[in-house]
Amino acid sequence: MMRTLLLLLLAVSAEAQTQVITLHAGPASQEVKVEPSNWWVGMKEPSVQLMCYAPGIGGTTPRLEAYPGVALKTVHRVENRNYLFVDLSIGTGARPGVLHFTFAGAPSYNMDFVLRARDARDGVSRIQGVTDKDLVYLLMPDRFANGDPSNDVVRGMRDTIVEKDAPSERHGGDLKGVQDHLDYLKDLGITTVWMTPVNENDMPHGAYHGYAFTDQYQVDRRFGGNEAYAALSEALHRKGMKLIQDGVYNHVGSDHWTVLDMPMKDWLNQWPEYTNTSYKVEPLLDPYASDIDRRTSVDGWFVKSMPDLNQRNPYVRNYLTQYAIWATETFGVDGWRVDTWFYSDKDFLNHVNAALVREFPRLTMFGEVWVGSVAEAAYWCQNNLDVPYKSNLQGVVDFNVCFSMQDALRKDGNPDRLYTTLAQDFLYKNPFRNCIMLDNHDMDRFYGIVGQDLDKYKMGIAWVLTLRGIPELYYGTEILMRRLKSEGGDGVVRENFPGGWPGDSVNKFAPAGRTTEEQEAFSYLRTLAHYRLGSSALTSGRLMQYVPTDGMYVYFRYDSSQTVMVAANTSDHEQTLDMSRFSERVGGFRDGRDVVTGATEPLSGMRLGSHKVVVLELSK
């Protein structure tokens, strides 16, 4: 999440507060809360750790009724007697069923725990991974569409305000609203839906964005709960589409149930007094950095309302890792985007990645690594660097490519930074696994950034859909949503999709609700997106780029069966392309078919107007 947003939240929460959080009185219920809430037979990792929570359960003696292939291995008693951690071993001979536990003592408890069979579709039609063949659509569930107004307010939850015209309040969007518009997304050319977190955020105010979890295992009931999320996943996969889950390992919300009554004091990263992260990545890479600077970057809290989890604590490590596995198997998640990546413990990050890939070999993971250089980004994923820490993360959200595309399209911009950024791809093990975008939920809207210039918009769309990597579009980009954060903060760049709410005056999900300019933008994006789906060069081909000259940036995507040429004139004057300069790639080709208009023209003498872009499939 964007640093300016975080500083704003910090200011809002600036009341006096100590960071030393103590253990509280415990649960009101006499039932055992257990996480994970179920598990599976046939997992590659045969052990699972149950976190059992009930008043005084730490003083009881647990027993497992005999169950073939399952053994209770170890019991862990921790500082807080309301917790008991139980390690199970699930052998290869275990079958699906119900485990019966008793907890003898005063008080005493009974608990059932379900073992399920793994889904036979894993790795085939679900948990498939997300690649550069896909096109990702990022949306905020609260702001996309309200498919079920009955869940706008849920009795017993802390935040009951729903005002769809107030930028910082909940608006009532939900998972049913997303599911209702899957045909719209598929028609646009989208293959994959990535939503900001759907986990419960039962905070008093302002957590519509989803990044302040209060219970990992519960999808927010105002979005429709676990049932609605499972239904959305099933609907996506039936349509041949995919699901990315947005995860957070670094922190939770201050009203998370394990924060209100912590298992042990070092469940969180504690300080003598409140200490914020510096938001700086450099101390984590710098060979000359001080220990205090390193610790502040990682162990400092993101904001006061988001306590920092201590992933060096083995119970926290297990808790987070098992949740990621549980969610992937339960909901058929095809990929993970993980928030605030480098703020978490390095060794933990490699641990959770390895655990996920062990169970789900095709799963994709990329992290939010908001840094200022390619070298800093490459450090946090699989790379070609000779450094002591070697990350096993597959790819990153590529902010460097994003900002270089934006810079090339601002007033008086040029594409040199974009060229130079891509020229440093040798630092990555596989830069084609990075996620590239023009904007996201923490940034100004792309169409606003380029001054609402439709030609520049088309150039950006052409780049993000034809360059290397996994392309992502932020919801509403296709209809020219244009707001800037200077107009009212984060909320205005997260406005509702027009037509997603009952009673909306316009419906931009339908052509009739769009202006002429919006329809032109929509059609351009849709045409190029559908071409991309069938283009081997764009989805699996190589990239060759040429040094920009006078604002003209030319590159090729190609394989043994197809060559696509992209030429973009960022200058303020028309230019003729000198095809002899590109003979290495255009040799043997005479014509190019504009993949958007369908027109074919000879390559020789081709002219390109100011701020125009063309995507050509070459032919002989």
Residue 514 neighbours by CB distance under 10 Å = 22
**For residue 539, which of 465, 608, 598 has the smallest C-alpha distance?**
465
Residue 207 neighbours by CB distance under 10 Å = 24
Decide: helix, strand or coil at residue 317. Answer: helix
Find tokens 């999440």 and name the residue: 1
Does the structure show a pLDDT above 50 at 19?
A: no
Task: Please enumerate, as own/partner, the contacts of 318-323 that have beta carbons within 8 Å and a separation of 24 or more.
Answer: 318/49, 319/35, 319/51, 319/258, 320/249, 320/348, 320/352, 321/351, 321/352, 321/355, 322/35, 322/36, 322/48, 322/49, 323/35, 323/36, 323/216, 323/217
- Residue 240: both structure tokens together: 């041949």
Task: Please enumerate, as own/partner, the contacts of 555-562 that have beta carbons within 8 Å and a separation of 24 or more.
Answer: 555/467, 556/582, 556/585, 557/466, 558/585, 561/536, 561/537, 562/535, 562/536, 562/537, 562/617
pLDDT band at 22 (very low <50, low <70, confident <90, very high): very low
Q: What is the pLDDT of residue 411?
A: 81
> Secondary structure of the chain: what % helix, strand, coil (to 5)?
30, 25, 45
CA-CA distance, 337 to 493, in Å (whole number)? 20
Q: What is the pLDDT of residue 417?
A: 97
Cβ 41 vs Cβ 94: under 8 Å = yes
Cβ 464 vs Cβ 422: under 8 Å = no
CA distances from 618 to 256, 348, 542, 568 (A): 56, 47, 15, 16
What residue spans define the domains of the chain? 3-7+131-312+364-537, 33-116, 542-619
Task: Give, in words, the CATH class of 542-619.
Answer: mainly beta
pLDDT tens, residue by residue, 447-472: 999 999 999 999 999 999 999 999 99
* Strand bridging mode 109-116 / 97-104: antiparallel
pLDDT tens, residue by residue, 45-58: 999 999 999 999 99
Does the structure show a pLDDT above 70 at 27?
A: no
520 has catalytic annotation: no
Q: What is the pLDDT of residue 206?
A: 85
> Which residue type, as a one-letter code, is found at position 257?
W
pLDDT band at 416 (very low <50, low <70, confident <90, very high): very high
* Over residues 113-125, mean pLDDT: 97
Cross-strand partners of 109? 103
Decide: helix, strand or coil at residue 193. Answer: strand
CA-CA distance, 534 to 418, in Å (whole number)? 26
Task: Give, in words, the CATH class of 3-7+131-312+364-537.
Answer: alpha beta
165 has catalytic annotation: no
Cβ 54 vs Cβ 86: under 8 Å = no
pTM, two decimal places: 0.95
pLDDT band at 116 (very low <50, low <70, confident <90, very high): very high
Does the structure show a pLDDT above 70 at 10?
A: no
* Strand bridging mode 192-195 / 136-139: parallel
* Strand bridging mode 470-474 / 435-437: parallel
* Over residues 87-97, mean pLDDT: 97
Does the structure show a pLDDT above 60 at 11?
A: no
**Which among 35, 202, 334, 339 is annotated as catalytic?**
339
- Residue 164: both structure tokens together: 């769809």
CA-CA distance, 375 to 584, in Å (whole number)? 30
Q: What is the pLDDT of residue 30?
A: 62
- Residue 563: both structure tokens together: 């060559």
Cβ 344 vs Cβ 109: under 8 Å = no
Contacts for 82 with CB less than 8 Å, ≥ 6 apart: 26, 27, 53, 54, 55, 56, 57, 58, 261
**Which among 368, 439, 478, 495 is annotated as catalytic?**
368
The CATH number of 33-116 is which of 2.30.30.30, 3.30.1950.10, 2.60.40.10, 2.60.120.10?
A: 2.60.40.10
**For residue 455, which of 611, 235, 620, 296 has the smallest C-alpha distance?**
611
Instruction: Tell me whether the CATH fold assigned to 33-116 matches the one assigned to 542-619.
Output: yes
CA-CA distance, 581 to 588, in Å (whole number)? 14
Phi, psi dihedrals of residue 23, rounded to the nearest 5°: -80, 135
Full 3-state SS string of 71-91: EEEEEECCCCCCEEEEEEEEC
**For residue 340, which of 396, 424, 291 has the smallest C-alpha distance?**
396
Chain Cα centroid distance, residue 287:
30
Lowest mean pLDDT among 6-15, 136-145, 534-543: 6-15
pLDDT tens, residue by residue, 328-382: 999 999 999 999 999 999 999 999 999 999 999 999 999 999 999 999 999 999 9
DSSP string for 376-417: HHHHTSSBS---S------EEE-HHHHHHHHHHHSTT--THH
Cβ 6 vs Cβ 280: under 8 Å = no
CA distances from 291 to 288, 308, 619 (A): 10, 18, 59
* Radius of gyration, alpha carbons of the chain: 26
Residue 205 neighbours by CB distance under 10 Å = 13
Contacts for 465 with CB less than 8 Å, ≥ 6 apart: 135, 471, 525, 528, 529, 532, 538
Cross-strand partners of 303? 306
Decide: helix, strand or coil at residue 129. Answer: coil
DSSP string for 347-385: HHHHHHHHHHHHH-TT-EEEEE---SSHHHHHHTSSBS-
Does the structure show a pLDDT above 50 at 21?
A: no
Q: What angle do CA 348, 349, 355 make, to 5 degrees?
A: 85
pLDDT tens, residue by residue, 172-219: 999 999 999 999 999 999 999 999 999 999 999 889 999 999 999 999
CA-CA distance, 282 to 376, in Å (whole number)? 8
**For residue 495, which of 88, 156, 124, 171 has the smallest C-alpha distance?**
171
pLDDT tens, residue by residue, 525-583: 999 999 999 999 999 999 999 999 999 999 999 999 999 999 999 999 999 999 999 99
Q: What is the pLDDT of residue 413?
A: 84
Q: How many residues does the chain have?
A: 620
Cβ 296 vs Cβ 257: under 8 Å = no
Does the structure show a pLDDT above 60 at 4?
A: no
Exposed/middle/buried for residue 10 (C-beta within 10 Å: 0-12, 13-18, 19+): middle
